[in-house]
C-alpha cells in the first residue's frame, strides 16, 4: 500500500500478486496433502533436493569457469549472486538432510547419497564465509540435537573430517582460484559489517515510528535485518504484524517440543521442523529474507510451518483417540 501510494503502482501490484501466489500455493498444496508420515517424508525430500540441485548447478558451472560463480574476493555465491543468500539457502535445507539421514536405519545407497549431499552443502556453506550462515548452522544443531549430545558430536566429527580432507585440495595452488584461507579470514574477522546498517535502520524507525521513513525511489528498500528493516520502512504498522508472526513461530516450536516428548515416534519429525524454524528465525535478524516476495527461504519457512501444523494435527488425533478409548473403557466398567 505504501508503494502504491508513493511509488511504482505496477511493482506494488506485482509484488502483492507474487506473495499471494506463494501463500496460495502452500495453502492449496502442502497444507492439504501433508496428511501422513509418507507425505512428510516427501516434503523433507523436496527441500533437500533444492540443496542438491543448487550444488550440482554450481559444480556444472565450475567445470567451465569457476570464477563466474564467485565474487572477486573468492567468497562462494553460486547462482544466488550473493554469499549471504547462498549461505541462507544451503543452511535452510540442512534440517531435511539430517532427517533423511537419520530416518535411514540401515546403510544403503540412499543414506550415502544424503550424507554426500550434507557434506557438499557444508563445504559450500564454509566457502560463503558467511557469519550469518555459521550462526544459523550452530542454531540448527543446537535445536536438532538438544537432547542428543552424542549425535551432535558425531555430525560435528563428519563435518570436521570433510573439511580436513577437502579443503587442502581447494587451495590456490590447485589452480582453481579458490582459497580456504580467504573464507577463514572472513569468518574469524572481528569486523562488524552490520553495525552501520542497523544503526541507520534504527534511526529511521525512531524518526518515523508509526509509518516508517518516507519512500525513496519507486519501491521499498530493505536493509540487513528483517525486523529492523520492517521497523524502518513500515514503522509499527509493519513491525507489529511481523512480530505476531514471529511469536506464532515460537509458539509452534514450543508445541512441537512438547509433542516430541509425548510422542517419541515423531521426535525426529518434530526436531526437523523445530530446527528449520529456529534456523530461519535466527538468520532473519541479520538478513531481510522474511520481507521477500518470492524467495526460497520464505517458501521453505512456509513449508516448515505446514509440516509443523501436520505434526500438531497428528498429535491431536492421537490424543483424541486415546481419550475416546479411555472414555469407552470407563463406560464399560459401569455397565450393568
pLDDT band at 34; cut points 50, 70, 90: confident
**Average pLDDT over every residue of 261-274:** 91
Q: pTM of the entire structure?
A: 0.86
Q: Which residue has the higher pLDDT, 298 or 68?
A: 298
Cα 32 versus chain centre, distance: 22
Q: How many helices (H) and strands (E) does the chain have?
A: 13, 0
For residue 97, give Cα distances in angstroms to 87, 117, 264. Answer: 15, 8, 20
- pLDDT above 80: residue 173: no
CB atoms within 10 A of CB 129: 25
3-class SS of residue 255: helix
**Average pLDDT over every residue of 74-89:** 87
Q: Which of 107-116, 178-187, 208-217, 296-305 has the highest mean pLDDT?
A: 296-305
Ramachandran angles phi, psi of 144, nearest 5°: -70, -45
pLDDT in tens, 60-69: 888 887 777 7
- pLDDT above 60: residue 176: no
Query: Cell numbers of 320, please?
Result: 483424541
Radius of gyration of the chain (CA): 22
For residue 22, give Cα distances in angstroms to 15, 50, 93, 158, 316. Answer: 11, 17, 19, 36, 28
pLDDT in tens, 232-256: 999 999 999 999 999 999 999 999 9
pLDDT in tens, 104-154: 888 888 899 999 999 899 888 988 888 899 999 989 988 988 777 666 666
Buried-state track 10-46, b at ≥16 Cβ within 10 A, e below 16? eebeebeeeeeebeeebeeebbeebeeeeebeebbee
Q: Which residue has the higher pLDDT, 81 or 130?
A: 130
Site of grid cell 505446514:
306
Instruction: Look over the chain and give the mean of its residue pLDDT values, rounded to a whole number.
Output: 84
Task: Specify the DSSP class assigned to residue 286.
Answer: T
For residue 48, give Cα distances in angstroms to 22, 41, 45. Answer: 19, 11, 5
3-class SS of residue 70: strand
Question: What confidence score (pLDDT) does residue 253 get?
Answer: 96
CB atoms within 10 A of CB 259: 23
Structural contact between residues 146 and 260, judged by C-beta atoms closer than 8 angstroms: no
CB atoms within 10 A of CB 166: 15
**Average pLDDT over every residue of 67-83:** 78
Q: Which of 33-42, 154-163, 178-187, 265-274 has the highest mean pLDDT?
A: 265-274
80 closest CA partner among 292, 313, 312: 292
Question: What confidence score (pLDDT) does residue 174 get?
Answer: 45
Question: What confidence score (pLDDT) does residue 177 get?
Answer: 54
Ramachandran angles phi, psi of 146, nearest 5°: -65, -20
CA distance 8 to 209: 23
Amino acid at each position: 500500500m505504501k508503494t502504491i501510494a508513493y511509488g511504482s503502482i505496477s511493482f506494488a501490484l506485482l509484488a502483492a500478486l507474487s506473495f499471494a501466489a506463494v501463500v496460495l500455493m502452500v495453502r492449496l498444496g502442502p497444507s492439504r496433502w501433508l496428511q501422513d508420515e509418507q507425505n512428510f517424508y516427501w516434503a523433507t525430500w523436496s527441500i533437500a533436493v533444492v540443496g542438491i540441485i543448487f550444488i550440482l548447478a554450481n559444480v556444472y558451472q565450475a567445470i567451465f569457469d569457476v570464477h563466474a560463480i564467485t565474487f572477486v574476493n573468492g567468497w562462494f555465491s553460486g547462482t544466488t549472486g550473493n554469499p549471504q543468500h547462498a549461505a541462507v539457502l544451503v543452511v535452510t535445507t540442512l534440517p531435511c538432510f539430517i532427517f533423511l539421514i537419520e530416518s535411514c536405519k540401515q546403510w544403503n545407497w540412499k543414506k550415502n547419497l544424503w550424507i554426500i549431499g550434507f557434506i557438499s552443502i557444508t563445504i559450500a556453506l564454509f566457502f560463503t564465509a558467511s557469519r550469518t550462515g555459521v550462526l544459523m548452522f550452530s542454531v540448527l544443531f543446537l535445536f536438532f540435537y538438544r537432547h542428543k549430545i552424542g549425535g551432535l558430536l558425531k555430525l560435528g566429527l563428519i563435518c570436521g573430517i570433510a573439511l580436513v580432507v577437502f579443503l587442502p585440495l581447494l587451495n590456490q595452488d590447485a589452480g582453481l582460484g579458490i582459497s580456504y584461507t580467504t573464507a577463514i579470514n572472513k569468518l574469524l574477522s572481528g569486523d562488524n559489517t552490520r553495525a552501520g546498517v542497523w544503526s541507520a535502520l534504527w534511526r529511521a524507525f525512531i524518526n518515523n515510528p508509526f509509518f516508517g521513513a518516507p519512500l525513496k525511489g519507486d519501491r521499498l528498500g530493505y536493509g540487513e535485518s528483517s525486523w529492523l528493516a520492517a521497523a524502518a520502512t513500515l514503522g509499527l504498522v509493519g513491525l507489529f504484524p511481523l512480530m505476531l508472526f514471529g511469536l506464532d513461530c515460537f509458539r509452534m516450536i514450543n508445541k512441537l517440543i512438547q509433542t516430541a516428548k509425548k510422542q517419541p515416534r515423531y521426535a525426529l519429525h518434530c526436531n526437523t521442523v523445530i530446527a528449520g524454524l529456529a534456523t530461519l528465525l535466527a538468520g532473519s535478524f541479520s538478513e531481510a529474507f522474511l520481507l521477500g516476495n518470492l524467495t526460497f527461504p520464505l517458501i521453505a519457512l512456509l513449508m516448515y510451518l505446514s509440516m509443523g501444523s501436520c505434526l500438531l494435527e497428528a498429535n491431536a488425533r492421537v490424543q483424541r483417540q486415546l481419550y475416546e478409548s479411555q472414555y469407552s473403557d470407563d463406560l464399560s466398567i459401569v455397565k450393568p
